[in-house]
Structure 1
């Protein structure tokens, strides 16, 4: 079993979190002026979390305070946990199913998230883009997972909330599940015979 993290185990809706912190109007202006998702992509590829965010803030002084929130209040931006997904992760482990993570995530940002969400340390193996130097949906990251875990592609079941990431895994022979909520994921695990309905509740 391979879980993505953002929007599978932890909500990843930075626009919504910023709306709560600074208000929708200010957030919309900032996101129109600053490509924060590109900044996040650089962090996911291994650039230093704080340095990248603070350098971006310096380039856009009109929004500097708001941009620094991405780092300084990360525990509010990457939150809250998706409770049923966490229960499914733990149920799979109790059932003896190896559970891996495959996620685009920064080094320091993951360390911060782990302090707030200890379940992120409960995987049997973690494949994190910033450590691997490549991000989903590039084929290389899936190949690296296969080489490291030694499990045949057809025996890997991967869930992710982005269709392109699932499609890239399926192109290599993995089983894929497009995550649109924990209920559908639980049903898939039951159909696959990995959990009973009680265990997946």
Structure 2
């Protein structure tokens, strides 16, 4: 079945999301490893993605770990440096699909305030026909509920949705619901998949 709508993850699909890389560059790999071992920073970020307040969540965590206070606050104060750069070819593919009249949705684990801020730096985040932002939905991937919420809202049957994400667990959850899926490993393979489905020509996918 040719997909009727394409669903993009954002982190590491449209924008690189590499907190460890940022910290390696700012505090060094050894100190970064020690901090990530002592503090569940990704768990903190999951709370933001579930709708907890961006600033309050991070600053409260920082106060709970005074030895890492300044470094944890960087997750907030230097957030855009953790989420950079844009993956330009993926952005072009998003726009090429929309130019062809293909409905394009986002499905992303993203906080409310952090998404609003990101959109000021990356205007293409506001170009989706339907944005599904976990912070507003109160649930994160790979919980099956978030996929069901997309299905219930968008009006497209699961088998007609083509979803790309960089995390195998998120892809497996979509597979289980009957979605068409593509594990994102880079924009070139994703472009090839969109061409193979007939949604874009080779020229349109450049």
TM-score, length of structure 1 as denominator length:
0.98
Match of 1:58 in 2: 63
What CA deviation, in whole Å up to 9, does each residue of 1:19-64 have, x standing for no partner? Answer: 1222222211211111100000111111000000000110111111
What is the rounded CA distance, in whole Å, between the counterparts of 1:118 and 1:175 in structure 2? 27
Superposed counterparts of 1:6-155, under 5 Å: 6-155=11-160
The count of aligned residue pairs is: 201
Per-residue CA distance 1:89-124 (angstroms, 9 max, x = gap): 011111111100000110011111111111100101
CA RMSD in angstroms comes to 0.8
Secondary structure of 1:100's match?
strand
Q: Are the equivalent residues in 2 in contact too, given 1:74–1:112 (CA < 8 A)?
A: no
Return 5+ residue gaps in structure 2 as ranges. 1-5
Helix, strand or coil at the partner of 1:5:
coil
TM, length-normalised to structure 2: 0.96
User: What is the deviation of 1:138?
Assistant: 1.0
Residue in 2 aligned with 1:171?
Answer: 176
Matches of 1:160 and 1:114, distance apart in 2: 19
Q: Using CA pairs under 8 Å that are at least 6 residues apart, name the structure with larger relative contact order, 1 or 2.
A: 2
Secondary structure at the aligned position of 2:20 is classed as helix
| Corresponding residue number in structure 1 for 2:187 | 182
Note if 1:162 corresponds to 2:167.
Answer: yes
> What do residues 126-164 of structure 1 show as CA deviations (whole Å, max 9, x unaligned)?
111111111111111111101100011111000001111
- Contact 1:3/1:100 (8 A) holds in 2: yes
In the alignment, the residues of structure 2 paired with residue 150 and residue 78 of structure 1 have an alpha-carbon distance, to the nearest angstrom, of 31
Gaps of 5+ in 1: none
Runs of 4+ in structure 1 displaced over 4 angstroms?
A: none
